[in-house]
A and B are shown apart, each in its own frame.
Chain A
Amino acid sequence: MDFKNFLESFNILGKCKRYGLSPWQCPQFLFLVMGIVIILSEFVFYFLGSYYIKDPKIVVLVISGLTGILFIIAFTIVKGFENLAESNRMKSEFINIVSHQLRAPLSNLSWTIELIMSGRLGKIEAGQLEYFKILRENNGRMKDLVSDLLTVSRLQSANLSAREKPFFIEEVTTEAIKSFSPYAKASNIEIKTNFEKNLPEIFASPEQVKMVIENLLDNAIRYTKGKGKIEVSIGKENNSVLFSIKDMGVGIPKNDQKYLFQKFFRSENAMKRQTQGSGLGLYIAKSIIENSKGKIGFASQENIGTTFWFALPINKK
């Protein structure tokens, strides 16, 4: 944490404003008030103790009064947390409902475009085909975004279908690479693999881990300029299996690195290079890996490349 961030952490009223809460509903502000009350009460006790210690009735009265005040403040703080949690839940539910409702018209649109483009309803002109391709591409982007939003909302409500079980990560990785190889080939990118032999099974949800690997593969291909190479390695490290993917892409600017796993964040050079992308992929990856008791990280140098890695615990039989 640098000095600016350290100072910002004291801007309590600013934080309350950001959450849309009044100071008396804002947990941070109430904690501050509680702190002040506790410190003041210690002073009051000290002075009262030195003057009135001969009359215990007054001390008992003051203690009761202060306990009452602290109790009321603690209650208000809990209430404030409840409001925050409730508004967060409502936001997730809202995203969930909207995304579901968007799915039906998007599927309709996608199937209709496909039907027209297939020529089953009659031949379409080459000039028209160009525009149908634009429609198809944009429809695909919307579908991906909706799908990402649904995943995020499920992750937040801890409702993402996850059946954890022991499995070999190299099998899931091979499957993911296979499905990405036409895309890599079309982008002039070679995918090399380097898997250690006799790797142990890991314990997580194979579907979710595959989602993470696909996300990292997609990024590696997307942000590599021209001809390039991607190296996917898997090895054992202490009690975990370590997956890493190294690309020769545009890299992540130093200033952007700390925000990389945040929701909707897209680094400056990623925006320059690719206008597509929701900025949710890495957030989803981090949430999945951390929910599976793993760790995720990266090392990157601008214009040289990036290595993303994650480690997941070995299955203990």
Chain B
Amino acid sequence: MKKILFIEDEEALQKTLSEVLTQEDFKVISSLDGETGLELAKKEKPDLVLLDLILPKMNGFDVLASLKSCEETKEIPVVVMTNLENLENVERAIEAGATTYLCKAQYSLTEILEKIKRILE
């Protein structure tokens, strides 16, 4: 069973996507802030990280940089999921090593699920 770490401060959004992912046979671990998310990533070594950018305690860009600079976590694909869609942020995230960048408002649950499955294939 593939393990997905979901770092997102919107509890409702986390609950909805986690429900679908669990039903699709993924193990979902989640965190509501960046700091705990980073600790969980190091401890649990998930197969994929879903990462929001605006997070309490530690923002998404810092989490991404830490994940990519750590030997144990640098190979884990990171999907940045946010509502900030300006090109500067997209470029910054991709340069920092994100696998892909998704604007939550533009995707349905089904589309997000498909993207996650494709990355994990």
- Interface-located stretch among A6-14, A31-39, A80-88, A104-112: A104-112
Q: How far, in whole Å, are A154 and B83 apart by their CA atoms in the complex?
A: 15
- A111, B87: Cβ atoms under 8 Å? no
Complex: how many Å from CA A108 to CA B12?
6
- B20/A115 in contact, CB under 8 A: yes
**CB contact under 8 A between A111 and B16, given known A104-B10, A163-B87:** yes
The listed residue (A100, A111, A146) touching B13 by CB distance below 8 A is A111
Interface size class of B (residues with CB under 8 A): 10 to 19
Given contacts A104-B10, A107-B104, A147-B105, whether A112 and B16 have CB atoms under 8 Å apart is: yes
Nearest B-chain residue to A159, judged by Cβ: B86
In contact, B20 and A112 (Cβ under 8 angstroms): no
- Quote the shortest CB–CB distance from B14 to chain A (angstroms): 10
B12 contacts which of A112, A143, A161, A163 (Cβ < 8 Å)? Answer: A112
Complex interface: chain B residues within 8 A of A110 (CB): 105, 108
Give the residues in chain A near B40, CB-CB below 8 Å.
Answer: none
Bound CA span A110–B110, Å: 12
Interface majority SS (helix, strand, loop, mixed), chain B? helix
List residues of chain B with CB within 8 A of the CB of A120: 19-20, 23
A108 touches which one: B10, B20, B85, B88 (CB < 8 A)?
B10
Residue of A nearest to B24 (CB): A120
Contact between B83 and A100, CB atoms less than 8 A apart: yes
B88 nearest CB neighbor, chain A only: A161
Residues from chain B with Cβ under 8 Å of A126 in the complex? none
For the complex, count residues of A whose C-beta is within 8 A of B: 21
Residue B16 contacts which of A100, A104, A108, A159 (CB distance < 8 angstroms)? A108
Chain A min CB distance to B79 (Å):
15
State which residues 43-102 of B face A: CB under 8 Å. Answer: 83-88
Name the distance in Å between A280's Cβ and chain B's nearest Cβ: 16
**A147 to chain B: which residues have CB within 8 Å?**
105
B105/A106 in contact, CB under 8 A: yes
Task: Give the CA-CA distance A261 to B109 in the complex, in Å.
Answer: 35
Query: How far does the Cβ of A162 sit from chain B's closest Cβ, in whole Å?
Result: 8
User: What's the Cα separation between A146 and B106 when bound, in Å?
Assistant: 12
Across the A-B interface, give the 4 residue pairs with the lowest CB-CB distance, nearest first.
Answer: A161-B87, A103-B83, A111-B16, A108-B12
Q: Given known contacts A104-B83, A107-B13, A161-B85, what 10 new A-B pairs fall within 8 Å (CB)?
A: A103-B83, A104-B13, A104-B104, A108-B13, A110-B108, A115-B20, A120-B20, A120-B23, A159-B86, A163-B87
